[in-house]
């Protein structure tokens, strides 16, 4: 049985050796905690990990970056800086978009790590904020009716490269954690049309280029015309992707009541550190 260190007793760690300090720490734990400590150390040796944001060793998300990330994500009510309105010219109407944060600093790094570096555990960090924004924006429903949460799909190329659909992954995590109210239902009804010409990534495209590729999206026809849908995306830049998604939903018979996103690209005048 592992014995705790005796107060006042000279410990191995006092000799200044990192290995001795490690032994001191192990000896100070109860048997159960010592076993867990040993397993964690073994896992760190066999499968080394680093912080998704700053690459500090031995943490998937180090305490400092975790604090910064939480500080940059917001729960409702969401202020004016986290809201915008997008226009659907074909239908002469606007719809509201709300985001949980601004796409900058640690939040931007975390989203990129989640989408492009397989740091899928970050879905658990994002899920409460995206679910709260969706619940706040969706109107109360009559009994028996639901608002559908419709994730904007990744392009086929991006989905093949990543092996998962980022927004859908966050919504699934929110659903599993019981964060989505019963009046909301996740429905991935949007798809990309098959094309022999690759669409490419949206990042780096101009507003006109993004809008010209909008016809690549379609939605399954609504079984009940007028079904309310709330679009869900990860990052809103020009808004062209959400406009294309809204047009596809409208064409299939749905009523788009708004959109929520994890992050909104700040306007050029917004100062970021």
Determine how many CB atoms are found less than 10 A away from the CB of residue 268: 5
Q: How buried is residue 202: exposed, middle or buried, by Cβ count under 10 Å (0-12/13-18/19+)? A: middle
Q: According to the model, what pLDDT value does residue 149 have?
A: 98
pLDDT 10s digit of each residue in the chain, 273 long? Answer: 444 444 444 444 444 555 556 556 656 667 766 676 566 666 555 556 899 999 999 889 999 999 999 999 999 999 999 999 999 988 788 999 999 999 999 999 999 999 999 999 999 999 999 999 999 999 887 788 899 999 999 999 998 999 999 999 999 999 999 999 999 999 999 999 876 555 455 555 544 444 444 468 999 999 999 999 999 999 999 999 999 999 999 999 999 999 999 999 987 754 444
Could you tell me which of 96, 104, 189 has the C-alpha nearest to residue 134?
A: 96
Rounded to 5 degrees, φ, ψ at 93 are -150, 160
Q: According to the model, what pLDDT value does residue 41 have?
A: 60
Q: Does domain 78-100+120-193+215-264 have CATH number 2.60.40?
A: no
Distance from CA of residue 46 to its chain's centroid? 28
Helix (H, G, I), strand (E, B) or coil at 181: coil
Q: According to the model, what pLDDT value does residue 195 have?
A: 65
Please identify which residue in the block is written with the tokens 């079904």.
227
Kindly report the CA angle at 79 between 74 and 85, in degrees rounded to 5?
110
- To the nearest 10 degrees (0 to 180), the angle between helices 31-46 and 18-27 is 140
Q: According to the model, what pLDDT value does residue 186 have?
A: 96
DSSP state of 7: T
For the chain, list the strands marked E by DSSP: 83-88, 93-99, 147-151, 184-186, 190-192, 217-219, 228-236, 255-264
118 Rama class: left (phi>0) / alpha (psi -120 to 50) / beta: left
Determine how many CB atoms are found less than 10 A away from the CB of residue 223: 7
Q: What is the DSSP string of 189-240?
A: -EEEPP-SS----STT--HHHHHHTGGGEEEPPPSSTT-EEEEEEEEESSSH
Please identify which residue in the block is written with the tokens 């992954």.
169
Q: Model's pTM, two decimal places?
A: 0.77
DSSP state of 15: G
Domain ranges in the chain? 78-100+120-193+215-264
């Amino acid at each position: 049985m592992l014995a705790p260190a005796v107060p006042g007793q000279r410990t191995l760690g006092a000799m200044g050796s990192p290995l001795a300090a490690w032994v001191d720490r192990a000896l100070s734990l109860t048997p159960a905690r010592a076993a867990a400590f040993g397993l964690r150390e073994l896992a760190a040796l066999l499968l080394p990990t680093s912080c998704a944001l700053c690459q500090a060793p031995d943490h998937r998300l180090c305490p400092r970056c975790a604090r910064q990330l939480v500080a940059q994500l917001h729960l409702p009510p969401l202020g004016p800086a986290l809201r915008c309105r997008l226009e659907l010219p074909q239908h002469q109407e606007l719809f509201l978009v709300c985001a949980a944060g601004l796409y900058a600093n640690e939040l931007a790094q975390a989203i990129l790590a989640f989408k492009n570096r397989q740091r899928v555990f970050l879905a658990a960090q994002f899920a409460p904020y995206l679910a709260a924004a969706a619940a706040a924006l969706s109107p109360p429903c009559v009994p028996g009716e639901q608002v559908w949460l419709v994730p904007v799909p990744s392009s086929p190329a991006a989905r093949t490269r990543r092996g998962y659909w980022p927004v859908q992954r966050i919504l699934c995590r929110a659903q599993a954690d019981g964060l989505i109210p019963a009046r909301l239902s996740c429905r991935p009804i949007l798809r990309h049309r098959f094309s022999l010409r690759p669409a490419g990534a949206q990042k780096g495209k101009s507003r006109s280029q993004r809008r010209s590729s909008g016809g690549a999206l379609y939605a399954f026809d609504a079984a009940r015309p007028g079904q309310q849908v709330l679009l869900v995306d990860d990052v809103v830049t020009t808004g062209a992707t959400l406009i294309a998604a809204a047009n596809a939903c409208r064409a299939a018979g749905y009523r788009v009541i708004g959109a929520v996103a994890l992050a909104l690209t700040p306007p050029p005048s917004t100062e970021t550190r």
